[in-house]
Structure 1
Amino acid sequence: MSRLSAAQRHVSRPLALALIVLMMGLALSWLVSQLLVRTEQRALEVRFRAEAQSVTGQLARSVAQDLGALRAVSRFMALSTSVSASEFGLFVEPYLGTFGGMAWVRLEPALGESRMRVRYAEPGGSRGGFVGTDLTADPTRGPVLRRALQRRGPATSATMPLRGDYIGEQGFAMAIPVFRPGNDQALGFVWGTYRLKLVQELLTRLGEEHGFVLALEDEGGKTIIASGKVDQTGLSTYFQPVLIGDRALTLRVNAANGFVKKGDWIDAASLWGPGILIPALLALLVYVLANRQRYAEALAASRARALTQSEQRLRRIFHAIDDALFLVDARWSVRKANQAGEALLADWRVEQGEAVGAFAGVAAQAGLDEAITALLAGGEPFHLDRVIDGRSYAVSGVPVARDSAEFDDVLIRISDQSEQRRTLLELQDTRAYLGNVLDAASRVSIIATDAKGTVELFNRGAEHLLGYRADEVIGSASILHFLVDDEVDARTAELSDELGHAVGRFEALTLVAERNGMDARMWTHLTRDGILRQVELTVTRILDAQGAHVGYLCIGVDTTERRAAEAALIRRDQLLSKLSERVPGLIYQFQRFPDGRAVFPYASDGIKAIYGISPEAAAADAKVVLERIVAEDMPALIESVEESSRNLSLWRCDYRVDLPQRGVRWLRGESSPERQDDGSTIWYGFISDITEQKKASDQIALLASVIEANSLGVLIVDACAADMPLIFVNSAFEHMTGYARHQVLGKNCRFLQGGDHLQPEIETLRHMIAERRTGRVRLRNYRQDGTPFWNSLSLTPLTDSQGRLTHYIGVSEDISDRVEAHHALAVSEEKFRTFFESSPVGMALIRHSDGHFVDANTAFCQLLGYGVGELRATTLAMITPPEYAAQDSELINELYRQQRYGPYEKEYLHRDGRRVPVLINGFLMPGKEGGQGLAWCIAEDISEQKRLQRELEHMSITDPLTQLYNRRYFNLVIEREVGRVNRSGVPLSLLMLDLDHFKRINDRFGHDIGDKVLQHFAELIRRRVRATDIFCRLGGEEFLLVCPETDFAAAEQLATQLLQSLRDEAFEVVGCVTASIGVTQYQPFERIDEALQRVDKLVYRAKDQGRDRVAVA
């Protein structure tokens, strides 16, 4: 019991000390956590007030900016002498998003108190329901207006519901008095209803950004709007006044939970982990130190037991060894011998004992005298082979240090090697036999290595493959010497990545064989002559009789010639595949059997774009292809195939297909048939998509009709023929020259020269043709009847895609009546351009992963103004406007889905910054560069087409003589204006003007002067009407002026002013010119034809009444 109590006391004292240290550490941790929490609470409060002040400033600036709109409108009204309802509406329109409505309230003097009446209001114009309202007695709005007048500044009402488009919203009514400069008498008020929804959205946004709950309170502390519910965060509430007009509202700011969580704040709970862990570790350390003596004693006892056990294990091992062991001292006495040693002494009939020289008999029988004597004298350990009684023994000796002895002992080991030597001789015989067998395999390389890769066997097949002799490599060279370093390094990196640790170079060859027993793969061998050979190398492990791994056997078969033949076949197939991929169409074989079956034995990848199916599906059954053909085209297609099969003639057909993704497309097929021995027919041919060609043909037909209907003579010359004959002239050319079309086609244009061959312009024309350039010349030509006329000829050469000259296009204009006006002719020539210009096609190779240009042809570079080197440092995104980013993303998706995209219209950025419209096509290129896929982009410049389209649109609505709008534009725009009148009731007036005695002007002064009079008249009227008025020439000397938002009185006043302007204006050559004007006002829901007939009759009435007057109705 006393011993147990001492042990308990021994344990309790360190434990009590550890508990005291733990309690003191926990108390200190609690104090530190409380100090940190209070410090961070104060820092959070400071940051909350700073951000609250910032939010208040943002709200005040935003409200002031919104209310600045009312001040801008008040300045506009104060500085304008007269403002109409439409002008007021246009000015306040940008502010109607902030204000639910704005109005102009006029202060009208009256008996007693002045009246405050609404003149204009938006939305609603001058006829809205709010217009005309007297706000003097209005219980809500009247006090606001009077307070604003008294303050001579803005005044604000209490919160009120909004009307009109903002029913359901709340807002403030605000008014600002308007004073003209230098006048203390108020002119009126600008009135606006400020939408509280905008303030609500602003408070919500600011609250989400800063983690606040914001609220706006009125003077009585009532909450008007709030961004959310208040969270309990422990932070104080921040109040700040916000001035809106003359009302001082209060902004209340509360911190939300998101604000408290935002930032790197230390949680008190997070301090308890280290606060508990550190005292606990310190207490544990104290407890361990207090018990270290006990642990040291236990450790010493443990080590003593380990030494005893180790000595016992060594003794057992000494006696368990099969070889004979003797421990001999310097006196040749046997100090110790194991069981095998005692048995050997008995076999050799040697007496055992501890006497001096007892081992001398053994040494003499084994011939060890000299070796042991030398070893006892401090010599080196020895190893000897001896034959005793017909058995082989291996004898070895090593010195063993002996404590407190003058000389060391000697440990002698004697091992019976008779069975091992017999086995070795048998193995040598077997090896010689196997060597002869291996040398006979002269076409197979057999190399055996040790476990480290050193060559131990090198047969004649290996000598024949690698060019080395066996004696040059055995024992000195490694198997890695014959492999290509880069290939070994690549295999090493591959296995390292796969296994997650470093792999040696020799392991790259043997690791799989080590795990699986065998590894067969292709390795590139390097011969003595430096030739690379592709060898299929099989590596297996070599095990000894006990199953231990001793080396590797590498059997290699040379496959260089076989792989070269296979590679040639693969290259041929790849070449055919690449050629077919580059061809924009389908290369195919189509076979039809006598029983009606049909298949596509071969189809290039183009079948995916042409028919939307795979080559494998078409090879299985041709029905999947035929089902895509439009039903209306099937009879003609079947008939053409039948005829080609019967006559073995060339098959050619245009037909349509309906594709799920691309819709209806036009295809053109051409193929040659061959009859087979089994009665089937195979067609070899090509199918291409001609949809764009069809569209182009339609466009060409349209252009041809435009050319035919043109008033200018157009001719086309074949530049490839010897005499450059005419191949086309239009009707205007026939009318201008007097020659019929059949009389001139096939002839050179020189027949128009008559006998006048000495004109210098003819030589200029010849130089233009010789230099193949565009130009314009003025020629004196002769009609068929011999009368001369002046011809302005514009000549443009056309080239094909290879740049070869094919045609000339000439545009002829009879300018006989304007030769004297050479300057006017030069100006007018700028309005005419070539009808046909060849557009070069640009091609570029792009790495679609990052959009970098890899290469580009000259046409593409000229299209964008870059050199090839500059383009290679440029990406597709750098030359594409930002608005096309979404379209480009869709194009890339389409490129991955369908291997191609287009055609699409888009714009590129030229080097000088301008935009170039292009028509693009593209397809995915299967090759790779550095692991990145490439895509072809084909871009065609369509700038000229876009320009011609804009010019045609402009010409279609413009009178060419006066540059006024024509009747077509009038028909387009009058529907819009009439609809406006019918919807809103705004007035619309029509003025028809007809020049007086214009026929006399033409007859007396000529049509040129008449044209100038019309141009002068059009310019005069155009300068005197508004930009919103629509001035059109209906034909001849008849004009029509459409005046939106103009009532009858204003229209009549305008007509009178126009007449007076005509009387005051002197026209060149002809003097004064007058006009008759009819004025009418369109009535809502009236037919426009009725209004036009009415105003036309009014013009005739004015003429009947003596001309130079206005007739109204």
Structure 2
Amino acid sequence: MPMHAVRPKVLGFISEQASAWLVALVVLLAGGALTLIVAWAATDLYQQQVRQRFQLLVNERYTRLQERFEEQEQRLASLQRFFVNSSNVSRAEFDGFAQPLLLRAHAYAWAPRILRDQRSAFEQKISRQRGAPFAIRELNASGELAPALERDEYVPVLYSQTQSLLGSPLGFDLLAQPLRRSALERAQKSGKTAVSQPMQLVGVEPAYAAGVLLVAPVSKLSAAEPSGFVMAVISMRQLVADGLPKPNRDNLVMQIVDTSDTQQRVLYASSNAVGASDLSAARRLTLGDHVYALTVQASRVFDQANRSSTSTILSMGGLLSLLLSALLYVLVSQRQRALKLVEQRTEQLRLREQELRGAHGQLRSVLNAATQVAIIATDLRGVISTFNAGAEQMLGYKAEQVLGRMTLESLHLGAELDARSASLSAAMGKRIVPSQAMLVQTPDNLHEAREWTLLREDGSRLTVNMLGTVLLDDHGLWVGHLAIYLDVTEQKRAFEALAARDRLLKKLSAHVPGGIFQFILEHQDNGRFIYASDGMRDIYEIDPGLLQQDAGKVFERIHPQDVERVQLSIRLSALQLSHWREEYRVLLPQRGLRWIRGEATPEELPGGGTLWHGYVSDISDLKRVEEELRALSITDSLTGIHNRRYFQDRLKAEMLRLNRTSGALSLIMLDIDHFKRINDQHGHAVGDGVLQEVCKRISQRLRRTDVFCRLGGEEFGVLCPHTDGEQAYSLAMQLWQSLRSAPMDAVGTVTASFGVASWRVDDGIDGLLLRADSAVYVAKQAGRDRVQAQRLRA
């Protein structure tokens, strides 16, 4: 190798002759370019992340709004079913049913259909019931309520439940107003829920005045025409904005427009400001028979929360590039000054070289006499200066090919030098170049031989032990290195052959989790372990040596309920030569109960018997996680009792049992009275405490066979297997008494309405649930705080 090829460079790639100012400028420009690339990439990534965050927010907001629209339809549908299923509804019954429905709705109302010839009798009847004059009215030309003009049909407001302080204009004929008439006609024609065009609500704040009228017809099963209409007056701002972040904290700006409105009036618009970004999205919301366009834009709050880091990257990158260029300028300039000093010293050493050549001749004669050992000397640059006869015989090179032409590094395997360089650099805290790795020794292995791989002239490899040391002149100055090599190829082969089996077993034991084994089952079911790894000690807490003496100790550790199954599976695997796999429990002296999984592959032995090769592993953590996940999936997190999912599973199982064997089954459902009032007056934290106390009191009175579940909100169910209706009613009375017997902290006495239903022949899940739910409803309508058994509606 030419001598100039091994001349070191600054940082491994900067030439010694390069100008320090040029190096600093190039590094500064490169750093600036890299900073721009990183800033561009960060900007692109920032834009993608912002779009993704915005879409996630839009999807969540749209889902929440659509759920609220659907909830209003469901609430009106429940009021519709209430009138359909009732032959006659009083004002008190209407108020009791409609008042809990007022969440995010301005008002609910009932308006019967009255024909021309029925008007007078209807007005007199209602006047007697109210104890005050009642008339069907409409707005006159001056905007005041006056008796309605003669028409073929009237739809006056009879019952109303509203959040407005002004109340509702009872007797107002809905057919007298075009918007309301249009909604009623569409609902009557389709038989489904209809929505009016946007209207201004009366008696509310101007900000909440924009809204719609949601109408549903009430038709008896035997009637061709509806007997009346139930209505929900909805303020769009009250429906949409309730529960959303405040304007100064909202990330989105929304606008809702009725697509069927020719004037395209805005039903709802956010009060916060639109941001500077162009992010926007459009969705379609449905309510009744109308479709509303939802437009969403990013707000200023969103822009402020998602600022770009491009300016920070540019400033930090520029500063780092400037510091790096200054550092390289200092490094290169100092190295160039040092190289001048080195060149001066090299000139002096060249003169000494002339004097040493005479001594080298004498030393060569001595070295060539050692024909079984390779002795190689180099100068400080690593260029070979001495190559004895033993080196020629060992490596196949002639001295003329090597001296002054090749370096010691060229004789070594490059991969070994790189690995040794990395380990030395880490140990010594400074960089050791690969060309010096074979000569540098750490203080703890000074003058110790080390194994290396050399490359012969023909390309073959030779394993040697090398001992390296430094060469000093008469003044104690370092002038080169001396390396002595011994051929250990045959010795290494013999050592590797002897250690092959041990390495294989150690690798198997180290890489297989748990324990590996070889188990042999001989005639008359005599089993023994012929090999057991150290992992078997952790699995069974038995020393592997003891296992090989007595295999029965393993079966003593297996759980009594599992040992027979494990032994049977082993015999079956031996009989069929099939793969053995089992999961079983063991009882350990120190760690107690653990779950073990074992697998093994059998083979039939020529002399009879079966040999298994397999492993066992501890799966206790996996089993524990499975049990915890199952418990979480069927448990209500607030109260600690079973949840609705577990209730449905148990109810299905009990129904299957009844279909197979007959028997008895009862269901108790209860609903806490006025629970919303507790939350509103005392807060949700107190409400949660009430739920927990109710569950505690009821759980104390239940039997072990009863299944107590939270069905949702303040609604609970108790499934009573092997229990008839009378027994269930008696149990429900005990539960009812346990609730009202003592007041609860902060809220006083808490009551609940109970419904009891029992299973009937050919009854299904839906039938049983419906009868229990109907009993709860009857109990609430009868004044709450009571137990109501199932009954058939006439």
How would you bin the TM-score normalised by the shorter chain?
0.3 to 0.5
TM-score (norm 1): 0.30
Higher relative contact order (CA 8 A, sep 6+): 2
TM-score (norm 2): 0.39
Name the one with the larger strand percent. 1
